[in-house]
Each structure stands twice: as structure tokens, then as C-alpha cells.
Amino acid sequence: MPSITINGRKCEFTPGQTILQIANANGADIPQYCYHDGLSIVASCRICLCEVHAPNPKTGAIEPFMGGKLLPSCQQTASDGMVVYSDSPKAVANQKGVMEFLLINHPLDCPVCDQSGECFLQDYSYAYGRGVSRFQEDKVKQPKKDVGPHVFLYSDRCIMCTRCVRFTREVSGTAELMVMGRGNKEEIDVFPGVPLDNELSANVVDICPVGALLDKDFLFTQRVWFLREAPSIDGLTASGDNLWVHHNEGKVYRVKPRPNARVNKFWITDEVRYGWKFVHSDDRLRQPTRKQFGTPVTCDYAKAYDDVIEGIRKATAHGKRLAVMISPMLSCEEAYLLAKLARRLDPRAVLALGPVPTHGQDKIFPAGASETDPKAFKMYAEKAPNARGVRRVLGAFGGQIEEYDGFLKALGKGLGASDVGAVIATGNYPSEWATDDLTTSLGGKFVVLLDTLVNPLCDRADVVLPGATWVEKSGTFENAKSMLQAFEQAIPVVEAAKSEGQLALDLWAVLDGREMPGEAVRPMMLETTRGQVAAGVQVAVPFGTIFNAADVRREMARTYPALSVFESGVSMPPSEPSPQTDMAMVEL
Ligand code: SF4
Ligand code: FES
């Protein structure tokens, strides 16, 4: 394999890679602003300039390449035997010069800047800057602009790397942003009357290396150094986009794309970025309820679980069956535990997939690109993360497995007659989901609802058990490309709610006759270790085994050969990055 040497370190590479790409892949330190793996190379910021030497093709002697001038490492393709220096006196002098020019008109407003703590300009000032400013004149002041529904532009912080402009031309294909003016009057802007308003618009905030483009939704809500991040998967659409969920003290503050070349490249849609708001909705179900004289009243889990088991037993006592509808918003592990519970309660139970919402058509960015283009990005019309995973799991159980229409028919839709006496329905959708068909088909049946948001079915159900959103639990989703991807729990489950997997395990324990804990609800701290284990504070005490997605996957693979893929074929999230502190913590 060909190799080059960067700052004394030998790095192998694939022909066609640039020096900077090789440096980034090998952890070698070369500063960079305008370069981005997902965009074209313009080599405009000039901070990545390096001193390059290469073997003379005739003599083999290592000599200065291209006459010894500094070369942009982001643009220069590597050749075997090159020797590169980003830390030579010449390269360092350039870095200091570039930093000085960039900071000439940059406001010193780090204390009030949202990007502070994750800003390349800030980091490179420490690493490559001068430490003092020699600039005596007045700074050029540029305006703050409202450029689109999700994005503010603080023009005076911009370093003109043009990443944002290239994004709107090459990725979204909408070209709303442009460079206007010349010299120190140069600024980013939108065309009059054409705001930055496309389905991918907020990605420009992620790629802006400084605090010029800001997310309106996150603006001034948290300092980034307070945020913790959990690797997650899109829990709202069939994309399987890889995410970081940034949270603090049990609250999600923002969602960012996690690069994955096979899935979302470097991007996510605004729909996925902002769709998590229902997690903290006032309409979240927080306590179990049961019907008392026809009215839903809150109760503890012991009473709710007893009612569920007793109600289902009574309703299925005379040849009637249980039907269980598993939402495509739930993970594969939860689908497995609920199906297993259903078949224990009634070996003839009908297992069905819940409604799979769609909205419009699939969309490819940029418009007109082929889906097979490695740079194309796809937005999915299917607004559920795991329809394929739930189908896969239910299929392994055999017996009567239905799609949503078949489930409604099994409940007696259109016929009036049905051999179903009890129903367990799961929701977990981010908005209203229960159709009139479903509500009318439930007439005369014992109904248990596992859901996250208040909805009309709550009044109809005999018992309601509060579930958890995907950021409150770990699990696996199968995306539209049939990739199984695991995700971690980011925040604790709201108040006394429990994940649907935990509810299934609790009901299993009640069926086993296991003794109930003395108090139904009390605070308790679980392991904070990463690795598919529930993390953080759990308020509701589990009755059964604690839900652990990794354990459930192993059981699935052991029990059903058709599910063996859950043992070895699941892409796991990355492990926690080690903290990189540049200062010692002092106990006061
Ligand atoms: S706004 Fe940000 S991404 Fe756009 S050119 Fe300026 S610094 Fe670069
Ligand atoms: S990163 Fe190479 S010139 Fe900007």
C-alpha cells in the first residue's frame, strides 16, 4: 500500500486521497476550515497549507515538491513517498498569518456566542493563533440576518469558508445562499425574497465552523459544554439516519447528524432534527390509568397489571382470542417481548403491525440526482422507524400475523362479528394516530393501551400504561434499506412511565407470580454505563427483569433461528468518546 509521512508519522493511503484526507483518517493534526468530507474542495481558506517534499522520479531523492511553495493539503493528491510538514516554520507562519487575518474583523463575542465550546476559530486561536492582536483600526461591522425559518446568520462572525453556500448548491440543490460583495465587505446572504427554506436547511448550522450560522431552536438554550451526547437512530421516519442526541439533566436540547456513509452521509432532514419535541410534551402519559365505573382513574402499576391480566383472561375465557397491535414506532426488542407475552396469554393470539404513516413521496436531494449517486440524500415518505423490524420479529412467531388492515378485519371491521375478545394496542406515535375504524372496531372488547401521548383511545381503553419515547430507551430499528441499527438511551423515562419492553417484562413477572415490590413507585438510580443498558435515573421500579436491549437480542437469536441476525447483524452505536479536557478540574 502506498504511504506518505505527515509530521514524521507514516500513513498508508488509497490512491486518489488528498493529503488532508489521509491526515484526518490517521489523526494527524492539520487545521482546516473550508474542507468538508461531504462537499467539493475549493481550497479557499488557506489554513491547511503544508510544506511538501516528494521523491524525484529520476533520482529517487526527496526534494521540495512544486518548487517548495506551501500547498493546500485539502486539494493536493498524495503520491507514494511524499513527506509532509504542517508543523514546519514555514507552515506555522502561514497558519498564524491566516488566523490573524480571520480575526481582524471577527467580534470578540465568544462569551455570548452559541458556538462557543465547539468553535473551530476558538480552538485554532489557541492552537495556531498569535495570542495577541496587532489590529488597531475599527472592525468592519456586519449585520445579523434572519435567513430562514430555522437559521440566523451573524455575518460578522463569518470566515467566508463557503461551506454553507456549497451545501445549498451541491447537497440540497436549492442554492439559496450566495457570497455577496468583495474584500472585507464580502458576506453571505440570501437572494431577496428567497429565504433558506428547504427540508435540509439546518445542516448549514452543523457545517459552519464558527458561530455565524445559528439554529434558532437551540439559540441561547444551553452552553454546549453542559451537554452530554447519546448515539441514536432516527425514531420518526424509515431513514435510519444516525444521530447524536444532545441532552442535559433529563432534557433533550438538540439533535445532530452522526456521519454514516452508508445511511445519511453527514446530513439529516429538519423534520428529524426538530421532530423530537413531543418527548417533552405536556400531553405525555405519566401514570397508569384503569377504568372505574366507566371513568379512567390513575392507579399504581400493581393494580394496573392485575387489571390487564384479569381482564384479558376473562375476555378470552370462552374461545375468544387476544389481538396485539405492535406499533412500527417500537423497537425490535419491544416487539419481541410484547409478542412473546401475547402468545403466553393466548397461544392463538393475533399479532399485527400498527398503522405505518406516510406523508407525500420519497424525495432525493439534490433534485434530479439518482438514488444510487453516492452523494445523493433521500428523505423518506414513511414516517415510522421500524415497520420492517416489527414485521421481521412477528414473522418469526408464526400463527396469525397481520398488517394493520388485517388487524382491523380480525377485530370485526365491516363484518360486525369477531372472535377477538381482548386487544393490546401500542401507539408511541408523535401525533394523533388512532383511526375511527380502530375505535369503532374495539366495541365490546377489553382494551389495553400502551402509549406515550394523551389521545382519544385513552378514554376508550380499560387500562392505559404510559410508554417511553425512543430517546428514553435503547433498542434496534430496521430502516428502509433493511439495516438493523442499535441506539442508546439518552434521557430517563418521564416520571413514572416505563418503556414498552419494561412493561412487557413486568407483566411477564406478574404472570410468573413474582412478588410485587413494597412501593410501586420510588426513585432509584441505575448503572450509568453505556452499552445498551438503561441509564440514568429510573423513577418507576421495574417488577420484572430490567429491560436490557442487548440481552433481549441474544434471547431472540437463541430462540428463533430466523432472528439469529440480532446476534451478529446489528450495527452498534460507537462507544462513548473519551473526554478531551484542556484544563484540570479543581475541586472547590
Ligand atoms: S456562514 Fe459559516 S459556513 Fe457559511 S461561509 Fe461563513 S463561516 Fe462558512
Ligand atoms: S481547508 Fe484547505 S484551503 Fe481550506
Write the DSSP string, 349-373. Answer: -EEEE----B-S--EEESTT--TTS
Mutate to test the pocket of ligand 1, among 145, 151, 159 (most ligand atoms within 8 A of CB): 159
Q: How far apart are CA 21 and CA 35, in angstroms?
A: 10
Mark whether 477 and 335 lie in a shared domain. Answer: yes
The C-alpha cell at 471 is: 430517546
Q: Residue 143: phi, psi to the nearest 5?
A: -80, 165
Query: Domain check: are 61 and 157 in the same one?
Result: no
**Residue 7's CB: how many other CB atoms inside 10 A?**
17
Contacts by residues 86-92 (CB-CB < 8 Å, ≥ 24 positions apart): 86/6, 86/7, 86/23, 86/28, 86/29, 86/30, 86/31, 86/48, 86/50, 86/51, 87/7, 87/29, 88/50, 88/51, 90/51, 91/49, 91/50, 91/51, 92/128
Q: Which three cell numbers stand for residue 440?
A: 369503532
Q: Is 196 in the pocket of ligand 1 (CB under 6 A)?
A: no
* Look-up of cell digits 436549492: 174
CA 484 centroid distance within chain: 14
Q: Model's pTM, two decimal places?
A: 0.92
* Identity of residue 59: T
**Which of 223, 255, 274 marks a domain boundary?**
223
| SS3 at position 72 | strand
Tell me, yes or no, whether 68 and 154 share the same domain: no
Q: Is residue 272 included in any domain, yes or no?
A: no
Are 218 and 309 members of one domain?
no
Q: Which of 44, 161, 190, 207 to mutate to test the pocket of ligand 1 (most atoms within 8 A of CB)?
A: 161
**Helical H segments across 53-119, by residue range:** 89-104
d(CA 569, CA 392): 13
The whole-number pLDDT of residue 108 equals: 87
**Do 71 and 160 have their domain in common?**
no
Q: CA-CA distance, 153 to 188, in Å (whole number)? A: 8
What pLDDT is attached to residue 524? 46
Written as tens digits, the pLDDT of the chain (588 aa) is 999 999 999 999 999 999 999 999 999 999 999 999 999 999 999 999 999 999 999 999 999 999 999 999 999 999 999 999 999 999 999 999 999 999 999 998 999 999 999 999 999 999 998 888 899 999 999 999 999 999 999 999 999 999 999 999 999 999 999 999 998 899 999 999 999 999 999 999 999 999 999 999 999 999 999 999 999 999 999 999 999 999 998 999 999 999 999 999 999 999 999 999 999 999 999 999 999 998 999 999 999 999 999 999 999 988 899 999 999 999 999 999 999 999 999 999 999 999 999 999 999 999 999 989 999 999 999 999 999 999 999 999 999 999 999 999 999 876 667 889 999 999 999 998 988 889 989 988 999 999 999 999 999 999 999 999 999 999 999 999 999 999 999 999 988 899 999 999 999 999 988 766 544 444 444 444 444 444 444 445 667 788 999 999 999 999 999 999 999 999 998 865 555 555 555 565
Q: Is 35 in the pocket of ligand 2 (CB under 6 A)?
A: yes
Distance 183 CA to ligand 1 centre (A): 15
CA 175 to centroid of ligand 1, rounded, Å: 14
Q: Judge if the beta carbon of residue 448 lies within 6 A of ligand 1.
A: no
Q: Supply the CATH number for residue 335's domain.
A: 3.40.50.740
**Based on the domain organization, do 144 and 37 belong to the same domain?**
no
Q: How far is the centre of ligand 2, averaged over its atoms, from the C-alpha of 99 (Å)?
A: 13
Three cell numbers written together for 219: 439559540
Torsion, Cα 584 585 587 588, to 10 degrees, reads 100
**DSSP-derived 3-state class of residue 307:** helix
Helix, strand and coil content of the chain, in percent to the nearest 5, comes to: 30, 25, 50
Yes or no: say if 339 and 365 are a contact pair by the CB < 8 Å rule: no
Dihedral angle of Cα 335, 542, 308, 356, to the nearest 10 degrees: -30
Q: Pick the last residue of a domain from 201, 223, 245.
A: 223
Distances (CA, A) of 460 to 111, 191, 325, 428, 441: 53, 52, 16, 17, 11
The minimum-distance atom of ligand 2 relative to the CA of 48 is: 2
Are 77 and 172 in a shared domain? no
Q: Is the CB of 83 under 6 A from ligand 1?
A: no
Does residue 398 sit within a domain?
Answer: yes
Phi and psi at residue 166, to the nearest 5°: -65, -35
Reading the block at residue 584, the C-alpha cell is 484540570
List, in sequence order, every residue forming a beta bridge with 376; answer none if it has no partner. Answer: none
Asked if 504 and 380 sit in the same domain, the reply is yes
Side-chain half-sphere exposure of 348, counting CA atoms within 13 A? 10
Amino acid at the residue 514: R
Span from the CA of 158 to the centroid of ligand 1 (angstroms) = 5
Ligand nearest to the CA of 188: 1
In a domain, 303, yes or no: yes
- Check pocket membership of 140 for ligand 1, CB cut-off 6 A: no
The Cα 258–Cα 243 span in angstroms is 5
408 in contact with ligand 1, CB cutoff 6 A = no
Q: Are 63 and 111 within one domain?
A: no
Greatest pairwise CA separation for the chain in angstroms: 96
Q: For residue 165, give the CATH number of its domain.
A: 3.30.70.20
265 lines ligand 1 (CB under 6 A): no
Q: Which ligand is nearest to the CA of 180?
A: 1
Beta bridge partner(s), residue 476: 486
**Proximal ligand: closest to the CA of 120:** 1
Q: Among the three residues 98, 117, 143, which one is the final residue of a domain in this structure?
A: 98
- CB neighbour class for 261 (10 Å; exposed up to 12, middle 13-18, buried from 19): exposed
Is 532 contained in some domain?
Answer: yes
**Which residues span the domain enclosing 530?**
289-571
Same domain, 504 and 413: yes
Distance CA 245, CA 382 (A): 22
Ligand 1: residue whose CA is nearest its atom 2: 208
Cα 140 to averaged position of ligand 2 atoms, centre (Å): 24
Choose among 470, 465, 424, 455: nearest CA to 286.
465
164 CB under 6 A from ligand 1?
yes
502 touches 542 (CB < 8 A)? yes
CATH number for the domain spanning 53: value is 3.10.20.740
- Ligand 1 pocket check for 160: Cβ under 6 Å: yes
Q: Whose CA is closest to atom 1 on ligand 2?
A: 32
Residue 475, beta-bridge partner list: 487
Residue 258 forms part of a structural domain: no
Is residue 275 included in any domain, yes or no? no
Q: How many CB atoms lie within 10 A of CB 499?
A: 31
Residue 331 domain flag: yes
Q: Which ligand is nearest to the CA of 179?
A: 1
Ligand nearest to the CA of 160: 1
Whether residues 374 and 437 share a domain: the answer is yes
Q: Which ligand is the nearest neighbour of the Cα of 41?
A: 2
Ligand 1 centroid distance, CA of 318 (Å): 69
Domain identity same for 118 and 74: no
Q: Are 88 and 64 in contact (CB under 8 A)?
A: no
Beta-strand runs (E) in 266-391: 289-292, 295-298, 321-326, 350-353, 363-365, 377-379
Count how many domains the chain has: 3
The phi-psi region of residue 173 (left if phi > 0; otherwise alpha if psi is between -120 and 50; otherwise beta) is left
**Residue 495, CB-side half-sphere exposure with 13 Å CA sphere:** 15
- Cell numbers that stand for 530 in this block: 453505556
Going from the Cα of 212 to the center of ligand 1, the distance in angstroms, rounded, reads 6
Cell numbers found for residue 386: 421500524
The response to whether residue 341 sits with its C-beta less than 6 Å from ligand 2 reads no
Inside any domain, residue 245? no
